[in-house]
Structure 1
Amino acid sequence: MSSNMQRQAVPLSRSEKCIVGTGLERQVALDSGVPAIAEHEGKIVYNDTEKIILFGSGNGLSIPLIIYQRSNKNTCMHQKSQVQKGKCVKKGQILADGAATVGGELALGKNVLVAYMPWEGYNSEDAVLISERLVYEDIYTSFHIRKYEIQTHVTSHGPERITNKIPHLEAHLLRNLDKNGIVILGSWVETGDILVGKLTPQMAKESSYAPEDRLLRAILGIQVSTSKETCLKLPIGGRGRVIDVRWLHKKADSSYNPETIHIYISQKREIKVGDKVAGRHGNKGIVSKILSRQDMPYLQDGRPVDMVFNPLGVPSRMNVGQILECSLGLAGSMLNRHYRIAPFDERYEQEASRKLVFSELYEASKETSNPWIFEPEYPGKSRIFDGRTGNPFEQPVIIGKPYILKLIHQVDDKIHGRSSGPYALVTQQPLKGRAKQGGQRVGEMEVWALEGFGVAHILQEMLTYKSDHIKARQEVLGTTISGGTIPKPVDAPESFRLLVRELRSLALELNHFLVSEKDFQIQRKEV
């Protein structure tokens, strides 16, 4: 699980080496091919954001750098030069770091101050409480690049056109288009803005003309084609800066090849409620609340903690390594040291990990003259204070600096709501999924749960108005506008009609009857 989540980690705007590592970070970074490495020794004769020129052994070597490219996971890939002009470098030396490397070592997350304690229920069930410092100081800020594309085809009524003259659209939606109808490079776009203006020709319906019009067109033999707006619009949650526009023209000899336009939009995302964070021991959680700095629990030297994890997430899962990492990280930050500890170090000596952690905490306590870092009564723990009241908490708390990653599962990509939207043609029920503006499924077991609470009206809404009862759906709008009461649906919903039609295809007729309670009269109802 831990390996999976390191694979899902997002490169941050400012990366940081881990204080406690395994020693494989450098090898992983080199094997990934992300850092630029000197192929031979020499002197740096030119250096900027786009390339580095290394001169040595009688020839010059130009090394191009990656600048703000999109990865397959829509994250941002770029390389930052780590050498200066005029400096001499050796073979194998790091010339440029990648988006997730620092000094040629893998750097996916940040070392943040963490306390393991419950806090008002906000970190129950693997939720995580974080400080506003992580937002305002861009500790967990990442850049994401999305690609939007559109193609132009030749239809039976003529070719599609790219233009900035789109009828029936408000001017502010077209404000970022150039004279060709494509969004201007560097412009800021919001949800719903037009990225590429496109018109598709189509024949007008005869019924849309007046009778005199139709007669004249029939006499003169005129055919009028109208155009339909099929622009590329920025979808929900896609606000950002246009960083690249590519118009791929078709070859002169191939008339059937469509033209394709790619728009690349960069987005800056701070950490927010609903984002997923994780350590390197499978200890993952969702951000539940962002608390102001003054309200966070603080240490005896006055520093507020950055994250509050739930201690109940440790014993049942038996991933106690996170506690040792947490404490050793605190000692390392105080002593300005980095540790590279091989896995399974217990094979060298009994309790080797615990002895190392306690000895480093003791040394940090002595060197910094902070006795609270290592207290013999409860080693590894410290008394901390409630930021809201200033009173100390009843029990000592484990505090430390583990390495925490921000994962690709972000709330901006998952949040979804639907008021009304498209329906399936066959069942007439709302579609499924965020991409199709779909609804939430109320399945068999959800219906049982609602039945258990006796919410009859909600049940009826879910199974009729909000689902596949076409007539009731149409009546809701009118009665809502006029302020009347919504009429009860009397006939069968579409899914029942579909069942009847499928049974009829098997030569089975299904009818239903209403039996009066008073006189037991049977009244046949047509499906």
Structure 2
Amino acid sequence: MPYSLLSFSIKNTETLVSNYLTFLKITLINKLYKLVPNSINYNNIFIKFHIKDLKFNTNKYEINHLNYINNKINPTYKVSFPIELFFDNKKLKFNFNLFKFPKIDSQNNLILNGLKKIFISKITRDSGLYFNLIQKNNYTVYKASLLFNNLNLINIEFKNNNFKIYNFKQKIEIDYIIFLHYLGISNKDIIKLSRYGNSIFLKNILKTSIKNYNYILKNIPFYLKHLEELAFYFESINFNIYKNIFVNIVKKQYFSNFIEIEKLQNRIGSVFRNNLTYLSTDLIQILDFLIDFKFNKRNILDLDNFSNKKLENIINIFLDQTNNILEKRLTFLLNNLTRLNSTNKFNFINLINNKQNIYNFKDQFNIHPLIQYLDETNSLSKFMHKFKLIKSNNVYIKEFKLRDIRTSELGKICLINTSEGLNSGLVVYLPENIIINNSQITTPLKTNIKTFKIKTISSIEQEKYNISLESKILRKNNKSLSLNSIIFYKNYLEKNFLNKESYFKESELFSLSQNLIPFLIHNEPTRALMGAKMQTQSLPLIYKQKPLITTNSNQILSRKNNNIYALQEGIITYVSSYKIIIRDILNREIIYYLPNFNFSNQNTLINYIPLVWPGERVFPGQLLANSQDFIDNEFSIGNNCFILYGSYLGYDFEDALIINKNLLKNHIFTSLHLNSYEISCLYEGDSYSEITTWKVPKYTTYAKRNLDKFGIIKEGSKVLEDDLILGKIRLYNLNNKLESLGKFLYVLFGHQLRNIKDTSVLISSGNAGRVAKIELFSNSNVFKDPNSYLKFKIFIIKQRILEIGDKLWGRYGNKGVIAHIADPVDLPYTEDSITPDIITTSVGVPSRMNLGQLYESLFGLNFYYLDKRILLQNNLNSKLGSNYLKTLLYNYLKQLNIYQGMSQFNSYNFGKSQLFNGKTGKMLKGTSLLGVSFYTKLIHMVKEKVHYRTIGPYSNITQQPIKSRSKKGAQRFGEMEVWALEAFGAAYNLKELFTFKSDNIKARFNLQEYLLYNLPLKSSILSESFYLILNQLKSLALNIETLIVSENNKSLININK
């Protein structure tokens, strides 16, 4: 679907930002206007609140300080409104500060302590009326639940011919009929308004409710208190308690944005009014519905239907806590009014508006589980992270039903894309084309093929349509010539006649990262999930290409604030690497600044390349500059490589890759990474001081070759590991006892005697590169340490070239670790002297059912020779027939033979190529598949994983080394690592891993005695890990038994554990 058809698509981050602006301009003001009174008279002090003059004060930072991490940067809004105090014929007016909350920028990012973070939206139960059925031991409970803005839940239960009502928090049951009497609804009103008024069943219930008054009379104050609390949520004409002002405030709090009339009519077909409160007829209708369920006159609908859900974002956190914050602030103000006469006015204002007394949401957001560190590996990862959803709370993680995709969620939640592991099915993603309307997710629906009119529908409206997937046509029936299709009706899949009036596109059922996979329908779903995940972990490369086979989702991604577009028509007057100047038709000069040479949260380089030239005429919406992972407005983070499916000297074990050395020479998969060093010079009175100098002792001239005379690294210098980037020494003053000796040495040598400590900074391991920029600061606002008087920021750009241990992957989840880098002369070649760039095992295709990568390899090779590209849709066969893909492939093969004169594809090879041995030049037996596929590099690079471990903690149970580098642990030796050692025959290493380096504590202690005290090395016993290996071999039908030979009769004796 073209992007222009959905101008308010959620893919455009301005949608969420506009909601934030609406919150600032309208929602927050209305909320405070309902809660804050106009005036209060407290202890002869009259307080007047001017809530209409609400103010938002913000803090400002220098632009230079926003380009990198600075833990003092916290852009916030401070909410305040003026109040007036009248006391003793005096008047005091000042701004009363309520709270602070973080800003949200134009890309929906939060800046907390200088770090970009994002809030993950959560799917919760919407406010409304719900019916449920619970089976207990010997009876059935019919329950109606009233949810008020996700704050309070009122339950009305019908069990054993009795109606009970209770609050979910207190769970004190009260007879529902007595509660209606308390609201002023008599038995005559119930009989008159109920549909069961003439039935004996209802009259018996009314009689039994009179007996329940005896329980209330025993403890009248207790039950009256709870009846009053329940009555706050309802309203009746005869109920006079609502004359209280406080009750009106509470009523406005809980009944704002209550149940939609459309939802009630669709769910229960009732005549509920669109009121903010329940009236008498509504409460009696709930009673009728529960009786209907008992006599099977109605069916109880699914509570987990997606129409009963809503999205909660960061604005809900602000609104939910406004009540408590306002109550605390007003209480604090009233308690301190007695200090007005005893203290100065300015001191009183400083006390009221003290920072410690103002609630700051930043403290809460720093530990909030739904506010996460923004993933900025590439533009796609940043986009997908912003539209991640939490499907449920942690309380319901064990319920398997929540992890399923229901038919009501089709088009609202991606069918495949989810997190892996424990949160699978609970952390989900939004599809490609959706719109959020009043916290409800709606999906675009095409209603007419001729005009292509598009309307968006919610889950409730979706049940009213017969919706079919676009061009999903089933085969004709033998008895009928009519075409059939799969349709969605009332959230069920049915087979019916072909519907051409309303249909979904298949791409609208999947997320954007799923739709970037060309042959998605030919992939196994779990591998498609892995392919979508790895696209968000791919690194932007220096040299990249457009994929030969692409989808229509590549350009959609480019419109989401990743690139820079013109906002007006004009002429380009200036272009450089940091700004573009346009002179528009009104003779105004508009400057577009390019945020170049910044580093992301994952330390990858952010760079923009201008695509226009001076004198060019541009129009609104025209592309001005591309980011680092786009080529001509198209998302591209990889290269088209020759892929050979085969084996090479055993290096392709367990999906490992063999790559051509030419990839390293031509920097095909080279990426740029930016690292920064923050160094401070300290000064603490008479104790010590730090200075920078070139004359640092104990370093060679070679190590100081890049330093200037002040000991600072030069810009543009290439630095290696253990090179100096800043020569710095700390000078300690002498003790007072040595003061006379210091004066004597100063007379002799002309220098003051001091203790010197070397505090120079060296390049750490794996961070060699080139110095890009050096910045010096003397402003105290930038310093973390109050003793700092000077601060250096040194930025180093490093190139990461492919090496053994790095990961490459295709778009179908076919990833692999580089096991060997071969010379081009040693690799097999084709008739026209083409050597493969990457060799991977062919076993990984059928074992994982990745047919899509085979299609891409065949099509990619054809398009490579024909110099063409194809825009492919995922439902190619379904749109143009079941054999269209095969026909298209054969047509391109025929063109390849005609125009290029290539005969390597013929009927005998079936798409395979004849290869020759690179070392001997002889023809290899059989044929192999050689194609062109799109490969990228993952951020999991081996340089960041390698670390050395001498000793560290072990697990108390399994005696395995503790995992992760931060805990000084080691890499655990898992099942796949054991397979590799078994395959290559590393018997001695396996023996060590099964005995001394495993859970065998006695053998490990014996080895320690042998190494330290030269005691004899005893034979080790069989460890638990060895028995585990035996069980794994039994699964391969290999039974290994331990036997000993008897000394008497030389017979074999089987030893069991």
What range describes the TM-score normalised by the shorter chain of this pair? 0.7 to 0.9
Which amino acid in the other structure matches residue 723 of structure 2? Answer: D
Distance, in Å, in 1 between the alignment partners of 2:542 and 2:781 is: 43
**Residue 63 of structure 1 corresponds to which residue in structure 2?**
592
Q: Does the residue aligned with 2:793 lie in a helix, a strand or coil?
A: strand
**Residue 580 of structure 2 corresponds to which residue in structure 1?**
52
**Residue 311 of structure 1 corresponds to which residue in structure 2?**
842
Shift of 1:403: 0.4
Shift of 1:249: 1.9
Q: 1:417, 1:439 within 8 Å by CA — same for their partners in 2? A: no
**Residue 757 of structure 2 corresponds to which residue in structure 1?**
228
**Residue 266 of structure 1 corresponds to which residue in structure 2?**
797
**Residue 328 of structure 1 corresponds to which residue in structure 2?**
859
**Residue 115 of structure 1 corresponds to which residue in structure 2?**
644
Shift of 1:22: 1.5
1:399 is matched with which residue: 930, 936, 943? Answer: 930
1:35 matched to 2:563? The reply is: yes
Shift of 1:459: 9.4
Distance, in Å, in 1 between the alignment partners of 2:952 and 2:628 is: 43
Q: 2:541, 2:637 within 8 Å by CA — same for their partners in 1? A: yes
Q: 1:327, 1:361 within 8 Å by CA — same for their partners in 2? A: no
1:488 matched to 2:1016? The reply is: no
Distance, in Å, in 1 between the alignment partners of 2:1006 and 2:702 is: 39
**Residue 362 of structure 1 corresponds to which residue in structure 2?**
894
Distance, in Å, in 2 between the alignment partners of 1:288 and 1:239 is: 24
Q: 1:450, 1:459 within 8 Å by CA — same for their partners in 2? A: no
Distance, in Å, in 2 between the alignment partners of 1:239 and 1:356 is: 49
Write out aligned runs for 1:430-445 (5 A): 440=970
Shift of 1:71: 2.2
**Residue 992 of structure 2 corresponds to which residue in structure 1?**
450
Distance, in Å, in 2 between the alignment partners of 1:392 and 1:253 is: 68
List per-residue Cα deviations over 1:119-158 (Å, max 9, x = no partner).
1111121111111111112212222211122234455833
Distance, in Å, in 2 between the alignment partners of 1:252 and 1:440 is: 41
Shift of 1:239: 1.4
List per-residue Cα deviations over 1:193-246 (Å, max 9, x = no partner).
22223334568999xxxxxx99998xx9xxx86332222211012211111112
Distance, in Å, in 1 between the alignment partners of 2:889 and 2:540 is: 29
**CA 1:451–1:49 in 2, change beyond 3 Å: closer, same or farther?**
closer
**CA 1:455–1:130 in 2, change beyond 3 Å: closer, same or farther?**
closer
Write out aligned runs for 1:105-254 (5 A): 105-154=634-683, 157-200=687-730, 226-251=755-780
What value does the CA root-mean-square deviation take over the aligned residues? 4.0
1:291 is matched with which residue: 818, 822, 831? Answer: 822
Shift of 1:275: 1.4
Distance, in Å, in 2 between the alignment partners of 1:28 and 1:444 is: 39
Shift of 1:251: 3.0
Please give the TM-score of this superposition, normalised by the length of structure 1.
0.75
Which amino acid in the other structure matches residue 317 of structure 1? Answer: R
Q: 1:297, 1:305 within 8 Å by CA — same for their partners in 2? A: yes
2:885 is matched with which residue: 345, 350, 353? Answer: 353
Distance, in Å, in 1 between the alignment partners of 2:680 and 2:811 is: 43
List per-residue Cα deviations over 1:472-511 (Å, max 9, x = no partner).
9xxxxxxxxxxxx975179xxxxxxxxxxxxxxxxxxxxx
Shift of 1:302: 1.7
**CA 1:245–1:454 in 2, change beyond 3 Å: closer, same or farther?**
closer
**CA 1:452–1:106 in 2, change beyond 3 Å: closer, same or farther?**
closer
Please give the TM-score of this superposition, normalised by the length of structure 2.
0.39
Which amino acid in the other structure matches residue 717 of structure 2? Answer: S
Distance, in Å, in 2 between the alignment partners of 1:131 and 1:200 is: 50
**CA 1:363–1:444 in 2, change beyond 3 Å: closer, same or farther?**
closer
Q: Does the residue aligned with 1:129 lie in a helix, a strand or coil?
A: strand
Q: 1:185, 1:242 within 8 Å by CA — same for their partners in 2? A: yes
Alignment gaps of 5+ in structure 1: 207-212, 425-429, 473-484, 491-527
Distance, in Å, in 1 between the alignment partners of 2:781 and 2:947 is: 44
Aligned residues between the structures: 453
Shift of 1:384: 2.0
**CA 1:339–1:177 in 2, change beyond 3 Å: closer, same or farther?**
same
Distance, in Å, in 2 between the alignment partners of 1:133 and 1:454 is: 43
List per-residue Cα deviations over 1:319-370 (Å, max 9, x = no partner).
2111111111111112221112122434323244344333323322332121
Which amino acid in the other structure matches residue 729 of structure 2? Answer: L
Which amino acid in the other structure matches residue 191 of structure 1? Answer: E
Q: Does the residue aligned with 2:780 lie in a helix, a strand or coil?
A: coil
Write out aligned runs for 1:83-98 (5 A): 83-98=612-627
Which amino acid in the other structure matches residue 69 of structure 1? Answer: N
Distance, in Å, in 2 between the alignment partners of 1:461 and 1:200 is: 50
1:376 is matched with which residue: 907, 921, 936? Answer: 907
**CA 1:336–1:215 in 2, change beyond 3 Å: closer, same or farther?**
closer
**CA 1:230–1:454 in 2, change beyond 3 Å: closer, same or farther?**
closer
List per-residue Cα deviations over 1:267-311 (Å, max 9, x = no partner).
122222221101000000111111111222212222111111110
Distance, in Å, in 2 between the alignment partners of 1:272 and 1:19 is: 26
Q: 1:324, 1:353 within 8 Å by CA — same for their partners in 2? A: no
Which amino acid in the other structure matches residue 873 of structure 2? Answer: A
Shift of 1:109: 0.1
Distance, in Å, in 2 between the alignment partners of 1:350 and 1:344 is: 10
Distance, in Å, in 2 between the alignment partners of 1:68 and 1:311 is: 41
Q: Does the residue aligned with 2:540 lie in a helix, a strand or coil?
A: coil
Q: 2:729, 2:758 within 8 Å by CA — same for their partners in 1? A: yes
Q: 1:464, 1:489 within 8 Å by CA — same for their partners in 2? A: no
**Residue 209 of structure 1 corresponds to which residue in structure 2?**
none
Q: 1:122, 1:129 within 8 Å by CA — same for their partners in 2? A: yes
Shift of 1:439: 7.0
Shift of 1:107: 0.8
1:338 matched to 2:866? The reply is: no
2:945 is matched with which residue: 383, 400, 414? Answer: 414
Q: 1:281, 1:321 within 8 Å by CA — same for their partners in 2? A: yes
Distance, in Å, in 1 between the alignment partners of 2:635 and 2:644 is: 25
Distance, in Å, in 2 between the alignment partners of 1:396 and 1:21 is: 28
Q: 2:808, 2:816 within 8 Å by CA — same for their partners in 1? A: yes
Q: Does the residue aligned with 1:412 lie in a helix, a strand or coil?
A: helix
Distance, in Å, in 1 between the alignment partners of 2:894 and 2:925 is: 24
**CA 1:347–1:173 in 2, change beyond 3 Å: closer, same or farther?**
same
Write out aligned runs for 1:2-13 (5 A): 2-13=531-542
Q: 1:375, 1:382 within 8 Å by CA — same for their partners in 2? A: no
Shift of 1:171: 3.6
**CA 1:431–1:233 in 2, change beyond 3 Å: closer, same or farther?**
farther
**CA 1:354–1:50 in 2, change beyond 3 Å: closer, same or farther?**
same
**Structure that is richer in helix per residue:** 2
**Residue 507 of structure 1 corresponds to which residue in structure 2?**
none
**Residue 279 of structure 1 corresponds to which residue in structure 2?**
810
Alignment gaps of 5+ in structure 2: 1-529, 745-752, 954-960, 979-988, 1016-1057
Which amino acid in the other structure matches residue 232 of structure 1? Answer: V
**CA 1:489–1:168 in 2, change beyond 3 Å: closer, same or farther?**
farther
**CA 1:462–1:232 in 2, change beyond 3 Å: closer, same or farther?**
farther
**Residue 328 of structure 2 corresponds to which residue in structure 1?**
none
Q: 1:12, 1:141 within 8 Å by CA — same for their partners in 2? A: yes
**CA 1:197–1:253 in 2, change beyond 3 Å: closer, same or farther?**
closer
Which amino acid in the other structure matches residue 240 of structure 1? Answer: G
**Residue 629 of structure 2 corresponds to which residue in structure 1?**
100
